[in-house]
Amino acid sequence: MSNPSHPPAVGVLDQGPELIFPPGFLWGAATAAYQIEGAATEGGRTPSIWDTFSHTEGRVVNGHTGDVACDHYHRMPDDVRLMADLGLKSYRFSVAWPRVQPGGSGPANAEGLDFYRRLVDELLTHGIEPWLTLYHWDLPQQLEDAGGWPARDTASRFADYAQLVADALGDRVTYWTTLNEPWCSAFLGYGSGAHAPGRSDGADAVRAGHHLMLGHGLAVQALRASRPRAQLGVTVNLYPVTPASDDPADADAARRIDGLANRFFLDPLLRGSYPADLVADLTEVTDFGHVRDGDLATIATPLDLVGVNYYSRHVVAAPAEGVEREPYWRAPSCWPGSEDVRFVTRGVPVTDMDWEIDAPGLVETLRRVHEEYTNLPLYVTENGSAFVDEVVDGKVDDIDRLAYFDAHLRAAHEAIAAGVPLHGYFAWSLMDNFEWAWGYTKRFGMVWIDYDTQLRIPKSSARWYAEVIRRNGLAGQ
Ligand code: IFM
């Protein structure tokens, strides 16, 4: 299906000294509810798994929680003005499920919905296209208590919630993402336990991944039926996976990790099947008995767009010789069945997350999705970097982050030139925020947040990005 509001990207690049993006390219920035809103107990909101997790000792660095975060819930109109000052064409935010449907089932909470209605109206007033993500990891705690994502019923609860949000906001929101990064929800949430709800069981992680995708498919069907003009998609976090050497054993390690990180989601969502080699790799973990007839067809319900979040590359090597693999049930891991694959660092520059900076990996990733999976419009729905920032004379000169954005936008441009129908780019993140298990110790924002005073300071990268948006491209090199 073609995208009505954005013309095809291919063949319209200005190849002059400047790197100009296609007309109508959607320039945006992204955030997520739990990371910025705060007001955790206000307006009828009930706890999510992240409230429980962050309030559990030892789970989040320094015991940080999202209770206050960037206080966006109370400062929303000012934050939208900030976005307008930057010239953002679109803002990608997520709806907090426990704010709009307390407990995760039953009727809508009018006060919760009203916050998002006001946000969307404020965006539209400023000419900023709202881009709504339904699930950015804040599962209502009551649904986790009933089994969480490993339980099939959670998928149906998600579709009901999607319908409820569509009923309230479908008249004013065109762009919808069902899930953000289901790999993290499934494999960090239920595999390694590094993320909420902090459970560690490989089989549960695989079931969670399946039910997240099932919930996505059911939600797409519900949204499509009630909002036929909406642009519907899903956001996956993808990594190129490279073997550390020419050794076939390293190539096999790369195949395994690529299966779990990328193909576990891309294949069901865009081809309607699980890859056979992945199923074989997981033999010890699960027999896939949780997959019922018709599930894969539901998961592969046609979409209008695909969102790609890109941060870095994985370089992997075969398990060390002579070291016996811990069975999956004894070694909490986000790579069930492949726990002993080694992740290798190459000594290239890294961000404050220790993630390798690898802009060519974005070209590789976008080309792969387009060339191997789909002709649908693609959007980079997140890309960005954490660095240690400093306020000097009231300014934050984040040249490393600026250089990261610059390199990745050049890569995005290269992908378009190679034929990828890339229609937009969202910087992660609009502002510094609660970086999950890292709390407030990692800063990804283009806008500095002083967590004591809630002062906002646009960093150099924000001013630079505003200029990129204004000229619809980058200065030549
Ligand atoms: O902060 C996260 C975001 O919530 C999901 N994608 C990756 C970001 C950086 O870790």
CATH pick for 9-474 out of 3.50.50.60, 3.40.640.10, 3.20.20.80, 3.30.460.10: 3.20.20.80
Query: What's the gap in Å between 50 CA and the centre of ligand 1?
Result: 14
Q: H or E segment at 129?
A: strand 129-135
Q: What is the pLDDT of residue 327?
A: 59
- CA 407, distance to chain mean position in Å, is 20
Q: What is the pLDDT of residue 429?
A: 98
How far is the C-alpha of 283 from the C-alpha of 379, rounded, in Å? 34
Q: What per-residue string of b and e applies to 293-324 under the rule 16 or more CB within 10 Å gives b?
A: eebbebbbbebbbbbbbbbbbbbbbbeeeeee
How far is the C-alpha of 19 from the C-alpha of 42, rounded, in Å? 46
How far is the C-alpha of 82 from the C-alpha of 70, rounded, in Å? 14
Q: What is the pLDDT of residue 178?
A: 99
* Ramachandran bin of 127, using left for φ above 0, alpha for ψ from -120 to 50, beta for the remaining angles: left
Residue 419 near residue 434, CB atoms below 8 Å: no
DSSP E strands, 238-287 = 241-243
- CA 461, distance to chain mean position in Å, is 21
Query: What's the gap in Å between 435 CA and the centre of ligand 1?
Result: 7
How far is the C-alpha of 259 from the C-alpha of 381, rounded, in Å? 22
**309 pocket-lining for ligand 1 (C-beta < 6 Å):** yes
pLDDT tens digits, 311-361: 999 999 999 887 766 655 556 899 999 999 999 999 999 999 999 999 999
Neighbouring residues of 21: CB distance < 8 A, sequence distance ≥ 6: 13, 412, 413, 416, 472, 473
**181 pocket-lining for ligand 1 (C-beta < 6 Å):** yes
Is 181 designated active site?
yes
Q: How far is CA 103 from each of CA 49, 180, 332, rounded to the nearest angstrom?
A: 11, 20, 28
Query: What's the gap in Å between 355 CA and the centre of ligand 1?
Result: 12
**32 pocket-lining for ligand 1 (C-beta < 6 Å):** yes
Query: What's the gap in Å between 41 CA and the centre of ligand 1?
Result: 23
Query: What's the gap in Å between 384 CA and the centre of ligand 1?
Result: 9
Query: Which atom of ligand 1 is least distant from the CA of 311?
Result: 7
Is the per-residue pLDDT at 470 higher than 90? yes
**310 pocket-lining for ligand 1 (C-beta < 6 Å):** no
Query: Which atom of ligand 1 is least distant from the CA of 180?
Result: 5
How far is the C-alpha of 51 from the C-alpha of 65, rounded, in Å? 7
**51 pocket-lining for ligand 1 (C-beta < 6 Å):** no
Q: What is the pLDDT of residue 11?
A: 41
DSSP E strands, 413-462 = 422-428, 447-449, 456-458
**428 pocket-lining for ligand 1 (C-beta < 6 Å):** yes
Query: What's the gap in Å between 414 CA and the centre of ligand 1?
Result: 24
How far is the C-alpha of 441 from the C-alpha of 174, rounded, in Å? 34
pLDDT tens digits, 101-122: 999 999 999 999 999 999 999 9
Mutate to test the pocket of ligand 1, among 436, 443, 449 (most ligand atoms within 8 A of CB): 436
> Mean pLDDT in the chain?
95
Q: What is the pLDDT of residue 332?
A: 86
pLDDT tens digits, 372-387: 999 999 999 999 999 9
Neighbouring residues of 288: CB distance < 8 A, sequence distance ≥ 6: 206, 274, 279, 282
Residue 101 near residue 109, CB atoms below 8 Å: yes
CA-nearest residue for atom 2, ligand 1, is: 435
pLDDT tens digits, 276-315: 999 999 999 999 999 999 999 999 999 999 999 999 999 9
Query: What's the gap in Å between 269 CA and the centre of ligand 1?
Result: 21
Q: What is the pLDDT of residue 17?
A: 63
Sign of the dihedral defined by the CA atoms of residues 137, 139, 145, 147, in that order: negative
Residue 30 near residue 381, CB atoms below 8 Å: yes
Residue 208 near residue 150, CB atoms below 8 Å: yes
Q: What is the pLDDT of residue 475?
A: 87
pLDDT tens digits, 202-212: 999 999 999 99
Q: How far is CA 400 from each of CA 132, 349, 419, 446, 469, rounded to the nearest angstrom?
A: 29, 11, 29, 12, 19
Is the per-residue pLDDT at 469 higher than 90? yes
Is the per-residue pLDDT at 7 higher than 60? no
Query: Which atom of ligand 1 is least distant from the CA of 384?
Result: 9
How far is the C-alpha of 162 from the C-alpha of 101, rounded, in Å? 10
Going by pLDDT thresholds of 50, 70 and 90, the confidence category of residue 10 is very low
Query: Which atom of ligand 1 is least distant from the CA of 137?
Result: 4
Is the per-residue pLDDT at 264 higher than 80? yes
Going by pLDDT thresholds of 50, 70 and 90, the confidence category of residue 148 is very high
Mutate to test the pocket of ligand 1, among 70, 92, 444 (most ligand atoms within 8 A of CB): 444
pLDDT > 90 fraction of the chain, expressed in percent and rounded:
93
Cis, peptide link before residue 421, omega less than 30° from 0:
no
**435 pocket-lining for ligand 1 (C-beta < 6 Å):** yes
Least confidently predicted of 5-14, 239-248, 259-268, 372-381? 5-14
Going by pLDDT thresholds of 50, 70 and 90, the confidence category of residue 150 is very high
CA-nearest residue for atom 9, ligand 1, is: 435
CA-nearest residue for atom 4, ligand 1, is: 32
Q: How far is CA 123 from each of CA 89, 222, 246, 405, rounded to the nearest angstrom?
A: 10, 25, 51, 24
| Residue whose pair of structure tokens reads 């339904």 in the numeric block | 134
**382 pocket-lining for ligand 1 (C-beta < 6 Å):** yes
Q: What is the pLDDT of residue 322?
A: 76
Greater confidence (477 vs 406) lies with: 406
Beta strands 19-20; 473-474: pairing state: antiparallel
Beta strands 422-428; 26-30: pairing state: parallel
Q: What is the arithmetic mean of pLDDT over 254-267?
A: 99
Out of 37, 181, 356, 435, which one is annotated catalytic? 181
Q: What is the arithmetic mean of pLDDT over 87-106?
A: 98
Query: What's the gap in Å between 354 CA and the centre of ligand 1?
Result: 14
Q: What is the pLDDT of residue 321?
A: 84
Out of 122, 339, 382, 435, which one is annotated catalytic? 382
CA-nearest residue for atom 10, ligand 1, is: 435
* DSSP secondary structure letters along 153-206: HHHHHHHHHHHHHHHHHTTT--EEEEEE-HHIIIIIIIII-SSTT----HHHHH
Q: What is the arithmetic mean of pLDDT over 405-434?
A: 98
